[in-house]
Amino acid sequence: MRIARVFPRKTNMSPTDEDCYFGPPHLWTPKYDQVHISVCFTWDVPKIWPLVGSWHKHTKKIRIGGPALGSRANGFKVGLYLKPGVTITSRGCPYNCPWCFVPDREGKIRELPVQPGHIVQDNNLLACSKEHISKVFEMLRTQKGIKFSGGLQARRITDSVVQQLRTLRVAEIWVSYDHPNQYRATQTAVEKLRRYFRRDQVRCYVLIGFENDTLQKAENRLREAWEMGTLPFAMRYRTAEPKWQGTYFYSDREWNLLTRRWSRPAIIKSSMKAKWLIA
């Protein structure tokens, strides 16, 4: 069966094979058995029906899904909706953090068959069973340039987990600092990781711009993440509003500038080095 996968926009995780499209078909697009329209972001939902109309003559069967539509994503096939090299071995999360969409969209933790890949996009890999985690690490020992881009929950990073990570050819280990009350758990996890991994390898998502947050508090948390020994990344909080412009709690220019400064490693390193020299 020949399937076209259609996306409203291209991202750095999108597949790039000849049966992958971004937007409407082109003049020489062939006929397909099925067309799958996958929507990742809520602000792309209004583009669905124009895409359905433009693709209708190329197939008799069109399927619509994706994270923005609450798809449960019960299975995963390498290279189908994400580029080759990306793997997802579990869905869902056992927690119900108020800033996270995962529990509502995917439910509790569900383990999937382990598919090969060096970029691990699980929402909470370390919440899986020990047997599943062992299978994932066994697979990863055959990979290089490994990135835990989905993040590893700080409170679950034990000495045993760190020793397993040391057996891998790791490029990036991501942790998250989503709320001030997670400071101690994040710091403890980073201390364990920094015994064996460089700052460039220990990355940290820092959630900013949620309700009642301020520019000063947000920048303080980003600096704390640096001082722990990580390379921080400002993760701007978004709501589920359907329009892109309405997804931020705070949309003024100062928040945009803060996000930009703390999402580019070169700028971060330069500014923190300058601070150290002045001090």
Per-residue confidence band for 244, with pLDDT thresholds at 50, 70 and 90: low
Range of lowest pLDDT (39-53, 98-112, 161-175, 226-240):
98-112
Q: What are phi and psi of 56, to 5 degrees?
A: -60, -35
Split at pLDDT 50, 70, 90, the class of 276 is low
| pLDDT for residue 10 is more than 60 | yes
Q: How far apart are CA 242 and CA 74, in angstroms?
A: 24
- Residue 3's pLDDT is 93
- Is residue 228 within 8 Å of 190, Cβ to Cβ? yes
Confidence at residue 277, expressed as pLDDT on a 0 to 100 scale: 46
Helix (H, G, I), strand (E, B), or coil: what is residue 179? coil
Q: Give pLDDT, residue 246.
A: 67
What's the confidence (pLDDT) of residue 194?
97
Contact call for residues 174 and 201 (beta carbons, < 8 A): no
Question: What's the rounded Cα separation, in Å, for the pair 105 and 71?
Answer: 7
Q: What is the pLDDT of residues 12-26, one digit of tens each?
A: 999 989 999 999 999
- Residue 262, pLDDT above cutoff 90: yes
Q: What digits encode the pLDDT tens for the residues 198-225?
A: 999 999 999 999 988 999 999 999 999 9
- 82 — phi, psi (to 5°)? -130, 155
| 196 and 166 Cβ atoms separated by less than 8 Å | yes
* Residue 150 predicted with pLDDT over 70: yes
Contacts of 125 (CB under 8 A, 6+ apart): 89, 90, 133, 136, 148, 150, 152
Higher pLDDT, 208 or 68: 208
Q: Which pLDDT score, from 0 to 100, does residue 39 have?
A: 93
The DSSP letter of residue 29 is: P
Amino acid identity of residue 122, one-letter, is: D
143-157 in b/e form (b: 16+ CB < 10 A) is beebbbbbbbbbeeb
Using CA atoms, how far apart are residues 168 and 142, in angstroms rounded to an integer? 9
Q: In sequence order, what are the beta bridge partners of 206?
A: 177, 234
Q: What is the pLDDT of residues 79-137, one digit of tens each?
A: 889 999 999 999 988 888 777 778 777 878 999 999 999 999 999 999 999 999 999 99
Q: 36 CB contacts (<8 Å, ≥6 apart)?
A: 3, 4, 5, 6, 62, 63, 64, 65, 81
Average pLDDT, the chain: 91
pLDDT of residue 64: 94
Contact 248, 236 (CB under 8 A): yes
Alpha helices, DSSP H only, in 56-202?
Answer: 102-106, 130-140, 159-165, 183-193
pTM for the whole thing?
0.90
